[in-house]
């Protein structure tokens, strides 16, 4: 009986080794899937050569009243760095934003000097262009020098939009809502652009808010969000 058990055991072990050896001797072939994902980028820039045109509120004609040359309005594109950081500090970018590869763009700088109630300056021949590879939707905000968002007081469908830049409770400037505000929600595909204007007025009807020998400073922030993540 013992010999029979040993014989059975020996046969079982031999069979097991044969099965294992056979398993290692099987042929095989391999298929491989190689995944390579390359991301695009978001980048918007100003396009064009800005020009400034002066108007007289009294007559609505080009040039200052009686042909005088009193105030001066200039517009130019100048180098600006870390513009995304400025917008983020004003709370205009989500906490999860990533710095754009299109940093260090040009800034549209508008300088008005010796202005007075009734003076109007219109900046034209300028556009926002999508120079990235991903579609964007545009968001426009007005921010004071301390990074606080300014909400315009809109009248006549936005044709008149008063703003208070020094936060004294008195609105001293008027920005035509039909100018750059119309960029809001505009979708730009790669290579696409949209023209706009900046219409700045020192309203006579608010001259009690306009102080002499004072500098009023604010920023117009234009943000290009990836088109499928535009804030609603």
Write down how long the chain is: 232
- pLDDT at res. 5: 47
User: Which residue, 121, 116, 119, is CA-closest to 57?
Assistant: 119
Flag residues of the chain having pLDDT under 50. Answer: 2-8, 10-11, 13, 17
pLDDT of residue 19: 52
Q: Which 8-state DSSP code applies to residue 8?
A: H
164 part of a folded domain: yes
Residues spanned by the domain of 87 = 44-229
pLDDT in tens, 61-85: 788 888 888 999 999 999 876 677 6
19 falls within a domain: no
Domains held by the chain: number: 1
Question: What is the DSSP secondary structure assignment for residue 206, as one 8-state letter?
Answer: G
pLDDT at position 177: 75
Residue 31 lies in a domain: no
- The reply to whether 78 falls in a domain is yes
Question: Looking at the DSSP assignment, which residues form a beta bridge with residue 96?
Answer: none
Specify the pLDDT at position 61: 76
Model confidence pLDDT, tens digit, residues 88-116: 777 777 666 766 655 557 889 999 999 99
pLDDT confidence of residue 1? 53
The 8-class DSSP code of residue 131 comes to -
Residue 56 lies in a domain: yes
User: Exposure of 75 by Cβ count < 10 A (0-12 exposed, 13-18 middle, 19+ buried)?
Assistant: buried
Which pLDDT value is given to residue 6? 47
- Domain-embedded: residue 2: no
Kindly state whether residue 89 falls inside one of the protein's structural domains.
yes
10 falls within a domain: no
- For residue 128, the model assigns a pLDDT of 96
């Amino acid at each position: 009986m013992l010999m029979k058990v040993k014989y059975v055991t020996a046969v079982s072990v031999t069979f097991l080794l044969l099965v294992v050896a056979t398993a290692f001797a099987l042929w095989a072939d391999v298929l491989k899937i190689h995944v390579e994902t390359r991301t695009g980028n978001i980048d918007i820039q100003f396009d064009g050569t800005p020009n400034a045109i002066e108007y007289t509120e009294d007559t609505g004609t080009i040039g200052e009243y009686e042909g005088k040359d009193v105030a001066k309005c200039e517009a130019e594109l100048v180098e600006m760095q870390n513009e995304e950081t400025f917008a983020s500090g004003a709370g205009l970018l989500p906490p999860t934003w990533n710095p754009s590869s299109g940093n260090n763009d040009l800034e549209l700088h508008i300088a008005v000097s010796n202005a007075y109630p009734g003076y109007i300056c219109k900046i034209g021949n300028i556009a926002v262009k999508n120079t990235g590879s991903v579609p964007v939707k545009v968001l426009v905000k007005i921010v004071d020098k301390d990074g606080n968002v300014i909400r315009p007081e809109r009248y006549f469908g936005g044709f008149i939009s008063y703003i208070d830049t020094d936060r004294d409770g008195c609105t001293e400037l008027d920005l035509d809502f039909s100018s750059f505000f119309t960029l809001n929600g505009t979708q730009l595909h790669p290579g696409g652009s949209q023209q706009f204007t900046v219409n700045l007025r020192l309203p006579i009807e608010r001259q009690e808010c306009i102080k002499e020998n004072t500098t009023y400073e604010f920023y117009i922030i234009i943000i290009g969000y990836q088109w499928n993540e535009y804030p609603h």
